[in-house]
Structure 1
């Protein structure tokens, strides 16, 4: 059985588990995460500092492992969206999507005609450098591309139903920290205001049959949000996962070795003097 694409993942409401890459774009990252059980990778360009040369290489690493990549671009500008798509991203994630007009501009940059206005470039990375019938290739790319709109503002919550109703928007992705700030309660993820906002976004996705996603810092949060109807659950991030694992090991070594008295070194044997 072949590995599912992001488009295929969006056709069911089973949970999909991934990992957030913000630091380690090494050649082995795709196979490392694939063999850790990931279904997808969220590759961040909003806060990481990764440039497009790195994105292009990283997508090849992930393709080699048959692991779909969602690229979060740094803005809603055409140059950021279309370039990531041209480099082969299966999914594109856009920060701070608050209105249908903003979403329409995004879709125009992602989709080829007749669904959008993206500039045509064929026979490059996104279609594996292959030739073929132009109309068929445009249609195939429109079908392949998956759009994740981040709900990170109070206005985005208010427009969640309209955004979820749009053809071409496949998933509403809650940006929990920015959303909490927009709601006036930074980091208060158990407040009634925040949880009501989550319920509003979840209801919009259920109504229109769209996917729902977010980053989860730990397993307990992931299970909690799965119960709320979230399908795309992106576990932690590479920096913090690596740091936590190393810290646990170092702390364990430090504590375990604190009361261990090392064996006393053996005294070297005295050399016999010559002639005796």
Structure 2
């Protein structure tokens, strides 16, 4: 599918080369010094651990709900924006799947700081959630409280592509 995309849009060959360079750079940092594979991507350190270690990470806000190109561009994370983007839960789920399949982490920016959106976001399984309009300590506390008591291991949600 990606090769068809590169044939249709020649300007994307630059992104393909960038992706190869990024993947080779990541492979050099891996303990095995091998070309990245699906197993390599699944064993990457988590976004949270990389942030804790103070690593410089590069990301991109995705507003188009067409993650195919940006997912392979070599970014460390992609923010899927439901606050200003035109899509909803279905589009966000497809974007999360595509980005994670390419080896990047996902952060989902929800449109409202409420428990309903927080639960929906957690059910989709991104690596992080970005809450909108956090300008006070109370707003931050409220956002964190929306995640309290949610045990993802016991979640009965089964997401399928509709």
Fold match (TM-score > 0.5) = yes
Contact 2:71 2:102 in 1 (8 A): yes
Q: What pairs with 1:43-122 in structure 2 (closer than 5 Å)?
A: 43-110=80-147, 116-118=148-150, 121-122=154-155
Contact 1:34 1:65 in 2 (8 A): yes
**46, 51, 65: which is aligned to 1:10?**
51
1 or 2, which has the higher strand percentage?
A: 1
1:110-155, CA deviations, whole angstroms, 9 ceiling, x for partnerless residues?
2xxxxx23376525469xxxxxxxxxxxxxxxxxxxxxxxxxxxxx
Contact 2:58 2:77 in 1 (8 A): yes
Q: How many residues align?
A: 117
Contact 1:108 1:118 in 2 (8 A): no
Contact 2:65 2:91 in 1 (8 A): no
- Structure 2 counterpart SS, 1:48: coil
- Structure 2 counterpart SS, 1:47: coil
Q: Aligned partners of 2:59, 2:88: CA distance in 1, in Å? A: 22
Contact 1:88 1:125 in 2 (8 A): no
Could you tell me how far 1:34 is from its partner in structure 2? Answer: 4.4
TM-score (norm 2): 0.63
Which ranges of structure 2 fall in alignment gaps of 5 or more residues? 1-29, 31-42
Q: Aligned partners of 1:23, 1:77: CA distance in 2, in Å? A: 24
Q: Aligned partners of 2:124, 2:70: CA distance in 1, in Å? A: 20
1:43-65, CA deviations, whole angstroms, 9 ceiling, x for partnerless residues?
10111121011111211112211
Q: Which residue of structure 1 aligns with residue 78 of structure 2?
A: 41
Contact 1:73 1:92 in 2 (8 A): yes
Contact 2:80 2:109 in 1 (8 A): yes
Q: Which residue of structure 1 aligns with residue 34 of structure 2?
A: none
Larger Rg: 1
Q: Which residue of structure 2 aligns with residue 20 of structure 1?
A: 61
Q: Aligned partners of 2:72, 2:88: CA distance in 1, in Å? A: 26
